[in-house]
Structure 1
Amino acid sequence: MDSFSTKVVVVGSGSSGISACFELYQRKVPFILLEKGDKVGGAGKFGAHGVFAINSQEQNKRHVKYGYRDAFNGLTNYNHYFVNGELLSRFLQKSGANIDRLSEMGLPVTVEQSEQKAHLDDPLVYHKFNNFNEKMANWDKLPALFTAAGNKVLLETAAVDVEYDNGLTAVIAQTKEGQKITIKTEKVIFADGGYCGNQMMLEQKYSDAAEFLNLGERKSDGRGIRIAQALGADTRHNPVLFAHGCAPSRTINPMRRESSVEALTNLPLLWLDQTANRFVNEDVVYDFAMWGNAAHNVNGKYYVIVDQATIDTFKKTTVGLEDTFERQFCDVGQTPKTTVGPLPNIQQDFDNAVKTGEVVKAGTLEELAQKLGLPQQALDKSIAKYNDAVEQKQDKTFLKPAAELLFTVTQGPFYAICEHCAILGTLDGVNVDRNCQPVREDGSPIRDIYVVGNNANGLYSDGYPSYEGIANGFAFVSGWIAAQEAIKSLN
């Protein structure tokens, strides 16, 4: 068994882990970074486009009035006071300074209008990475910076246990090949991203887990949470799913942007749940978190119903509906399109998706109901009622705007896009104090251990809120807090 010795071990190199390492590096505290994957980065690197912050220098220059009082009261009320007030406060008060740290790390951001159409009139709190590809490249440069200062970065190496006797003495790691490594250390920071890669843990907490479309870091298997729990950490908390939009599959999803089928899933067309009923104002598509929550609320799956006439329209013309993900893939300063189409390949894309089962096609509504296992009477009633709303330009039940009531479903063949609740991760795990130390059920901290990012409870009651970039912002700040507290304790 190999062995090393260092002051701090950081587990995971996503936003929270890389932030902790950067603070240790700047303060010249020796550390070893363990990364389970073959490259550094987690959800914050590969998926996130920005961070939430208040009172940043950029916001102050633009005279943004939304500050600590607004954010603290807003998040506390949003979560019905089921929050760790001290941790929330500390995060918010450090969030502005974190923007300067990101620039120092080579990850500059610019305060910008929200990426989501539903939040275009929100206060300017979203700070978007200036260039997504440059962010990825600069993240990859950080390990060389750390190792040049004498620290170690061990890729394809996971923390599997700790040695703890009235305090931490070692972290036990394991390489991809199964070789065990003992790292003698005084502190450990668990930044390994929650448990979205552990199907058993997901199924224990979510009855619809089998329907989830997991777009998160599946290497995040909850190991850090489970190690802290074994040491006596309190893990009692409502499950908090990082629901974020919906899509048919990993091949037809907004991360790929390759199929016209995906484009139609990102629009407020007709949605029916697994009982053939409408369940929401489809305009919720313009709010990623609420869209995902709406699907989660109907057992993780629903259908987008369109007819041949609708597909033909998108093939030939420009439709005055905005693709909800259009803004996300614009770099800072780019102007988004607010229309969709023409989509010349849409028929071929739908035909291909029928072959893979991501879309179900039927000549009649009766056949569609049979293929989907839907009650015929409910399907007929839902479609008739929706068609009437389109014709009258008035949605009396769900109040969808008249400008979005564009397409009836009347002309076969008919198509059902099979949509799944997409997740970027999980947001519950270990109860921590304001210093990101895990606490026991009596509230006492477990010393020498720190739990950060998506591993930590305290910011959310039961779901990801519509504060764009807050999970990523908290990840960076909580990693920073944990490193500062570890250094303080070492000293």
Structure 2
Amino acid sequence: MKREDTEAAATKGVSRRSVLKGAVAMGAAAASGLALNMGVPGTAEAMIKKLPTKWDETWDVVIIGSGFAGLAAAAEAAGKGAKVVVLEKMPTYGGNSIINGGVYAAWDSEFHYRQKLNLGDDSPKQHINDTLKGGDYYSIPELVEVMANGAAGALNWMIDEGGAKIRPTVTRAGGHTAYRTHSAVAGVGREYTEALRKIAEKRGAKTVLNSEVTWIWRKDADPKSPVLGVEVKRGRRTLNIKAAKALILASGGFSRDIKMRMAHNPRLVPAFGCTNHPGATGEMIRFAQSIGADTLQMNFIQLYPFAEPETSILDTPAVYPFNGPGYGIVYVNKLGKRFVNELERRDVCAFAQINLGANMKPTWSIFNHAMILKMGGSYEEVEAGLKKGRFIKADSIAEMAGKLGIPADALVKTIEDHNRYIEQGKDPDFNKPITKVMIPLVEGPFYSVSQWPAVHHCMGGIRINPNAQVIDVFGAVIPKLYAAGEVAGGVHGSNRLGSNAIPDAVSFGRVAGTNAAKERA
């Protein structure tokens, strides 16, 4: 049995024992109008709170979180006639989704760019297989199918109804075997969140900011007992909001909660930076556990290999190393040498850098002018990056080496070798798959961008089924409770392939919203 399996089994055992002990207290409490909540997950003590005697607000569907998953769920639920509210704890909407890199994996779109550019074949099945392999087969196949089969339709929906725009190219990202990654014109996830918000608002959904959920109301431990609503802190007021049909959790992961992430993955010490927004703290996962929800694979937390080295932000230049491998971008270290197959998965690329040693920070990606548009970039972005000092420009590889402070002879040889590998169709150094659209770094100008790994994405989370229903620790559906996006686990396995985050969140958000609206009030 692998270490991850052992850890997951141990965690599940603690959760089951906690719920069993707590349920004894809950059984007695239910008769007196008290609510189910275990307080701190992983402890046997049960926290008892009285159920509300009245509700301050009542909605058909209450959604926690206003990112990709939450807004997609809101749009679909409202479109089915439900009265919908999205509760966002932060003062602005969107969470991580707005600062996401705007890259979206789908086997096709209504523009058929892959076919028009002769970039080879692809299919939902191939996308499924890549995702399963990329996550070391820890993914739940039925969940992966929902994402891959829903990806193209969800992308077209955001384009047609929401006005989202994508660039006229498709890239091949690490771990994918096909050119299937689409890039937003805005260069960030806001392209899609704006589209989703437009659809949701047009259909009547309401978003309320500065609304922090502090409790999930569920009556008792009976498997048939539904979720009732939430307690919300809004300014100085504490409100009880009823979810007459369903509650949808779409609150994201916990990468910003250092204590929580280290509890599940002790390697991710505070010294690691984080690409996430400040609100990615995972409390909704803990609250869901407190009412009996199961979790899985919580130790699977991803590093983004290409974050800005000093601040760890995922800015627009930090997306170029991710989008570039399918067109010939090269990663080099301070010695001027390659250190990994550029088409490898994110976890491989991240640890290839970490294993170089802290004194080798940062590494760089090198590309040329001919690659910019093909890999989903824009000349305007590059110019802006040059002004900020994120991109470095040079007319020759030797000049670039001088500007980066690395040995010119070594860097020139590395690039010449890589150019030859592209021409010969074989990479003897790292066995990178060579494709016909890769561009040798022969003609300038040349550009570089610095990079270093930072904590980025939680693959584990709340256990759900293909209907986006939350599953309890006994394997039963918790009535009227759904989850979608990064808050849920099981889609990506041990490692998320880059550009799978948005199709995962939007596809499952749509499923959750559609099914929630069908629940009986």
- Whether the TM-score (by the shorter chain) exceeds 0.5 is yes
- Judged with a 3 Å threshold, the aligned counterparts in structure 2 of structure 1 residues 173 and 106 are, in CA distance, closer, same or farther, namely farther
Query: How far off its partner does 1:60 sit?
Result: 9.2
Does 2:148 match 1:96? no
What's the offset of the Cα at 1:398? 5.8
Distance 1:456 1:111, change over 3 A: farther
- Superimposed CA distance per residue, residues 174-221 of structure 1 (whole angstroms, 9 cap, x where no aligned partner): 12x343121111311111111112111112123233232211122021
Aligned partner (choices 441, 459, 472) of residue 473 of structure 2: 441
The answer as to 2:61 corresponding to 1:8 is: yes
Equivalent in 456, 470, 485 of residue 500 of structure 2 = 470
TM-score, normalization by structure 1: 0.69
Given candidates 278, 299, 311, the residue that maps to 1:218 is 278
The one-letter amino acid paired with 1:341 is K
2-structure distance, mates of 1:484, 1:69: 24
Rounded Cα–Cα distance in structure 2 between residues aligned with 1:179 and 1:15: 28
In structure 1, the partner of 2:239 is: 181
- Label 1:300 to 1:446 Cα distance change in 2 as closer, same or farther (>3 A): farther
Look up the equivalent residue of 2:455 and give its one-letter code.
Answer: I
- CA 1:84–1:148 in 2, change beyond 3 Å: closer, same or farther? closer
CA distance, structure 2, for counterparts of residue 113 and residue 137 of structure 1: 17
Provide the C-alpha distance between the structure 2 equivalents of 1:93 and 1:219, rounded to a whole number of angstroms: 30
CA distance in 2, matches of 1:392, 1:17: 48
After TM superposition, the score normalised by the length of structure 2 is 0.66
Residue 486 (structure 1) aligned with residue 495 (structure 2): no
CA displacement at 1:281 relative to structure 2: 4.5
Q: Kindly state the Cα deviation for residue 131 of structure 1 after the two structures are TM-superposed.
A: 3.5
Match of 2:484 among 430, 439, 452: 452
Partners of 1:301 and 1:431 lie apart in 2 by: 36
Distance change (3 Å), C-alpha of 1:328 and 1:10:
farther
Secondary structure of the corresponding residue to residue 196 of structure 1: coil
Distance 1:335 1:144 in 2: 29
Q: Using the TM superposition, give the Cα deviation of residue 156 of structure 1 relative to its aligned residue in structure 2, in angstroms.
A: 1.5
The reply on whether 1:127 has 2:182 as its aligned counterpart is yes
Is the CA contact (8 Å cut-off) linking 1:32 and 1:152 kept in structure 2?
yes
Which AA in structure 2 matches 1:57? Answer: E
SS in 2 for 1:423: strand
Q: Distance in 1 between matches of 2:369 and 2:351?
A: 20
Which of 87, 91, 110 is the equivalent residue of 1:38? 91
Is the Cα–Cα contact under 8 Å of residues 62 and 87 in structure 2 kept in the other structure?
yes
- Cα deviation for residue 100 of structure 1 reads 2.1
Which of 134, 141, 155 pairs up with 2:209?
A: 155
Q: Does structure 1 residue 62 correspond to structure 2 residue 120?
A: no
* CA displacement 1:255-298 (0-9 Å, x = unmatched): 1759xxxxxxx9633359xxxxx9x9424456672465325864
How far the C-alpha of 1:243 sits from its partner, in A, is: 2.1
Cα displacement string for residues 100-144 of structure 1 (whole angstroms, at most 9, x for unaligned residues): 21121222335732175x68x9533222223447x7378458657
**Distance in 1 of aligned mates of 2:380 and 2:131:** 29
Residues 98 and 335 from structure 1, CA distance in 2 versus in 1: closer, same or farther, beyond 3 angstroms? same
Q: For 1:295 and 1:34, locate their aligned partners in 2 and report how far apart those are by CA, in whole Å.
A: 40
The aligned residue for residue 114 of structure 1 is 171
Superposed, 1:330-369 pairs within 5 Å as 330-331=377-378, 341-342=393-394
Q: AA paired with 1:482?
A: A
Alignment CA distance shift 1:253-1:227 (3 Å): closer
Task: Report the CA distance shift for 1:162/1:267 in structure 2 as closer, same or farther (over 3 A).
Answer: same
The alpha-carbon deviation at position 17 of structure 1 amounts to 0.8
Q: What is the alpha-carbon distance in structure 1 between the residues aligned to residue 204 and residue 290 of structure 2?
A: 32
Unpaired runs of 5+ in structure 1? 259-265, 273-277, 311-318, 352-358, 362-382, 405-416
Matches within 5 A, 1:170-319: 170-175=229-234, 177-186=235-244, 187-206=246-265, 207-237=267-297, 239-247=299-307, 249=309, 251=311, 255=315, 268-270=331-333, 281-284=338-341, 289-290=346-347, 292-294=349-351, 298=355, 301=358, 303-304=360-361
Q: By how many angstroms is 1:324 displaced?
A: 9.9
Mapped contact 2:165–2:184 kept (Cα < 8 A):
yes
**1:54 counterpart letter in structure 2:** W
How much is the aligned-residue C-alpha RMSD, in angstroms? Answer: 4.7
Residues 296 and 208 of structure 1, relative CA distance in 2, 3 Å threshold: farther
Cα distance in 1 for partners of 2:518, 2:504 equals 21
In structure 1, distance between residues paired with 2:93 and 2:242: 23
Deviations 1:285-343 (A, max 9, x none): 5667246532586499562489xxx9xxxxxxxx8768999976725999999x95239
Task: Give, as a single letter, the amino acid of the residue that structure 1 aligns with 2:285.
Answer: I
Aligned equivalents of 1:57 and 1:141: distance in 2? 16
**Structure 2 CA distance, aligned partners of 1:392 and 1:256?**
28
Aligned-partner SS, 1:216 = coil
2:228 is aligned with what amino acid? T
The 8 Å contact of residues 105 and 503 in structure 2, kept in 1 or not, is answered as yes
Q: Relative to 1, partners in 2 of residues 1:242 and 1:325: Cα closer, same or farther, differing over 3 Å?
A: farther
What letter matches 1:31 in structure 2? V
Q: CA deviation at 1:444?
A: 1.4
Q: Secondary structure at the match of 2:477?
A: coil
Q: Secondary structure at the match of 1:194?
A: coil
> Hey, what does 2:36 align to over in structure 1?
none
> Is the Cα–Cα contact under 8 Å of residues 88 and 207 in structure 2 kept in the other structure?
yes
Q: Mean alpha-carbon deviation: is it higher for 439-448 or for 478-487?
A: 439-448
Identical pairs, percent? 16
Query: Structure 1 82/257 Cα, relative in aligned 2: closer, same or farther at 3 Å?
Result: closer
Instruction: Pick the aligned partner of 2:227 from 161, 168, 181.
Output: 168
CA, structure 1 residues 248+141, in 2 after alignment: closer, same or farther (shift >3 Å)? Answer: closer
The CA distance in 1 between the partners of 2:57 and 2:514, in whole Å, is 23
Of 194-203 and 89-98, deviating more is: 89-98
Amino acid at match of 1:440: D
Q: Supply the distance in 2 between the matched residues of 1:325 and 1:215 (Cα, whole angstroms).
A: 24
Q: Secondary structure at the match of 2:394?
A: coil
Number of residue pairs matched? 414
Asked whether the 8 Å contact 1:271–1:282 carries over to 2, the reply is no
Distance 1:254 1:12, change over 3 A: closer
Letter in 1 for 2:227: L
> Which residue in the other structure is 2:460 paired with?
428
Structure 1 position 242, deviation (Å): 3.2
Picking from 71, 74, 79, the partner of 1:21 is 74
Query: How far, CA to CA, are the matches of 2:136 and 2:312 in structure 1?
Result: 36
Aligned-partner Cα distance in 1 for 2:182–2:509 = 18
Distance 1:486 1:390, change over 3 A: closer
Separation (CA, whole Å) in 1 of partners of 2:357 and 2:232 = 36
2: CA distance, partners of 1:111 / 1:89: 26
